[in-house]
Amino acid sequence: MDTRLEAVRSIVLDRNPGEGEFHQAVDEVFASLVAVLDKHPEFAEASILERICEPERQIIFRVPWVDDTGKVQINRGFRVEFNSALGPFKGGLRFHPSVYQGIIKFLGFEQIFKNALTGMPIGGGKGGADFDPRGRSEGEIMRFCQSFMTELYRHLGEYTDVPAGDIGVGGREIGFLFGQYKRITNRYESGVLTGKGTSWGGSLVRPEATGYGTVLFTQEMLRTRKQTFDGQRVAVSGSGNVALHAIVKAQELGAKVVTASDSSGFVVDEAGIDVDLLSQIKEVERGRIGEYAERRQETAKFVDGGSVWDVDATVALPCATQNELLEEDAVKLVKSGVTAVAEGANMPCTSKAADVFHDAGVLFGPGKAANAGGVATSALEMQQNASRDSWTFEYTEERLTDIMVGIHDRCATTADEYGQPGNYVAGANISGFVRVADAMLAQGVI
Ligand code: NDP
Ligand code: 2IT
């Protein structure tokens, strides 16, 4: 590695011991930056790299709550306010038992460059808790969200820090969090959270935006090779917010999506995933993916455990979680004839898997670019809140489409400019980094 990058990397490793996901996210960005430092020596002179890797503020707090049996439960809450050079800290909240500081930091770090890439005025942050919503009653979820917000509210504000959803946090949780923020502050401050319900300040298209955006980004990549989604055989992982809406949009564009998954295993449906059934099971009943196959025995089967990437596909969209697509999965997908892969989730492909795709000439859209439609539509929600307006579905979807095409073009042009044509990873990292670094330079040493 370049000595300028290596020096900062070793500081990051020393300061953040045991935070493997964060180290991985930093390494992936650094791998794209040698040419940037050559072209912009002023960034290294002002220690932009070292500053960008150190969050502006990190908050860790106790979240006490009482479960349905009357027992006191304690969780740990986090918010990493990573970078506000371009706007208020912006990024989701994740409720999952695996959450710890390293996961929140990796997500917050990614978020800085993703948000910059959208071209919108949003900084980067992320938060969450090691709370497991699975099997919890509605009352328990509400009490947890209220306790979480009772501590976090003092750090938030429409001009300060604006959370949204992520794994385990959807419209229901945002409702409970918003209600508690409003009660404590005595302010109807719509712009403090995004992903709200449409009757109380939310934006149409926000629930669909990440999955739709991933497919729109993939469509732009395919277009460079004169291909479309029509007739593609698509493998999707996950069955949450991102996966579900990626499936909907891909099928709308003529593809057949044959898989969906959760942490218990995956389903293969050779007739194409029935999105109404999937949404009924996952969103309404909050059930498990195996139930999908039980109710569609004619065409679908459930595979307990195993890897969804064993299924042959021409397009793969990992939409579940980090490091869920490994090198050996990438090799299998290449053998099965995959031509495009786009990350609906954050960092679902390991760097070795991404290398396999690059070496095989597969179109590869990194999460920072391919899943940016979610946060971009959050920024559109903030815009509507600020102007006390609400836009139609059609208009908002048009804005999302323009944003995704813009991100694609920005990645492609930057990759060309830096001598790596077709490398969307380099394009996304460089373009996002330069926008943030320029703003940091302009704002002085803070
Ligand atoms: P959801 O909670 O709606 O769904 C998560 C899905 O991923 C579920 O199917 C879940 O299965 C599966 N999953 C989660 N953890 C694991 C695990 N450790 N192993 C296997 N499967 C797992 O979350 P989202 O759809 O919102 O988020 C999915 C991904 O997309 C995440 O990486 C998130 O950071 C990213 N993302 C989300 C955005 C958004 O707007 N929501 C925006 C941009 C990126 P199970 O129920 O069994 O846990
Ligand atoms: O990872 C992400 O970009 C999100 N979870 C969405 C963040 C947001 O603020 O909408």
Q: Which CATH architecture has domain 208-365?
A: 3-Layer(aba) Sandwich (3.40)
**Closest atom of ligand 2 to CA, residue 377:** 10
Residue with CA at minimum distance from ligand 1 atom 38: 166
Q: What's CA 286's distance to the chain center, in Å? A: 21
Please name the helix (run of DSSP H) or strand (run of DSSP E) that holds residue 429, with its range, or none: helix 424-442
Residue with CA at minimum distance from ligand 2 atom 9: 91
CA gap 39, 334 in Å, rounded: 35
Pocket test for ligand 1, best of 106, 166, 322 (most atoms within 8 A of CB): 166
- For the Cβ of 167 lying below 6 angstroms from any atom of ligand 1, the answer is yes
Contacts of 363 (CB under 8 A, 6+ apart): 218, 221, 222, 224, 225, 339, 340, 341, 342, 422, 424
Q: Where are the chain's structural domains? A: 3-189, 208-365
Q: What's CA 294's distance to the chain center, in Å? A: 30
Rounded to 5°, angle at Cα 115 from 110 and 120? 175
88 CA distance to ligand 1 middle (Å): 24
Pocket test for ligand 2, best of 378, 380, 404 (most atoms within 8 A of CB): 378
Residue with CA at minimum distance from ligand 1 atom 11: 262
**Closest atom of ligand 1 to CA, residue 170:** 3
- Contact assessment for residue 261 and residue 267, using Cβ atoms and an 8 Å cutoff: yes
The topology (CATH level 3) of 3-189 is Rossmann fold (3.40.50)
**pLDDT given at position 1:** 82
116 CA distance to ligand 2 middle (Å): 13
CA gap 105, 2 in Å, rounded: 24
Alpha helices in 153-256, H assignment, sequence order: 171-185, 206-223, 241-252
345 CA distance to ligand 1 middle (Å): 7
**pLDDT given at position 322:** 98
- For the Cβ of 377 lying below 6 angstroms from any atom of ligand 1, the answer is no
Residue with CA at minimum distance from ligand 1 atom 15: 321
- Own/partner pairs for 279-285, CB < 8 Å, 24+ apart? 279/244, 282/239, 282/240, 282/244, 283/244
Contacts of 249 (CB under 8 A, 6+ apart): 208, 211, 212, 215, 216
One fold for 3-189 and 208-365: yes
Pocket test for ligand 2, best of 106, 160, 166 (most atoms within 8 A of CB): 166
Q: Which residues pair with 76 in a beta bridge?
A: 62
CA gap 37, 5 in Å, rounded: 9
Pocket test for ligand 1, best of 214, 241, 324, 325 (most atoms within 8 A of CB): 241
In this structure, the residues whose C-beta lies within 6 A of any atom of ligand 2 are 90-92, 111, 164, 166, 194, 346, 374-375, 378
- Ligand nearest the Cα of residue 169 is 1
- For the Cβ of 373 lying below 6 angstroms from any atom of ligand 1, the answer is no
Q: What's CA 406's distance to the chain center, in Å? A: 18
- Ligand nearest the Cα of residue 344 is 1
Three-class DSSP category at 277: helix
Helix/strand number for the chain, H first, E second: 18, 13
CA gap 51, 362 in Å, rounded: 34
Hey, what are 2's tokens?
């370049």
- Tell how strand 57-66 and strand 256-257 pair up: unpaired
376 CA distance to ligand 2 middle (Å): 8
Contacts of 233 (CB under 8 A, 6+ apart): 255, 256, 258, 312, 313, 314, 315
Closest to 228 (Cα-Cα) out of 220, 236, 237: 220
Q: Which residues pair with 267 in a beta bridge?
A: 260, 302
**Closest atom of ligand 1 to CA, residue 165:** 41
* Number of CB atoms found within 10 A of residue 146's CB: 18
- For the Cβ of 369 lying below 6 angstroms from any atom of ligand 1, the answer is no
Hey, what are 152's tokens?
């976090």
CA gap 351, 204 in Å, rounded: 35
pLDDT truncated to tens, each residue of the chain (446 aa)?
Answer: 899 999 999 999 999 999 999 999 999 999 999 999 999 999 999 999 999 999 999 999 999 999 999 999 999 999 999 999 999 999 999 999 999 999 999 999 999 999 999 999 999 999 999 999 999 999 999 999 999 999 999 999 999 999 999 999 999 999 999 999 999 999 999 999 999 999 999 999 999 999 999 999 999 999 999 999 999 999 999 999 999 999 999 999 999 999 999 999 999 999 999 999 999 999 999 999 999 999 999 999 999 999 999 999 999 999 999 999 999 999 999 999 999 999 999 999 999 999 999 999 999 999 999 999 999 999 999 999 999 999 999 999 999 999 999 999 999 999 999 999 999 999 999 999 999 999 999 999 99
Place of tokens 């180290």: 23
Residue with CA at minimum distance from ligand 1 atom 46: 262
Kindly list the catalytic residues: 126
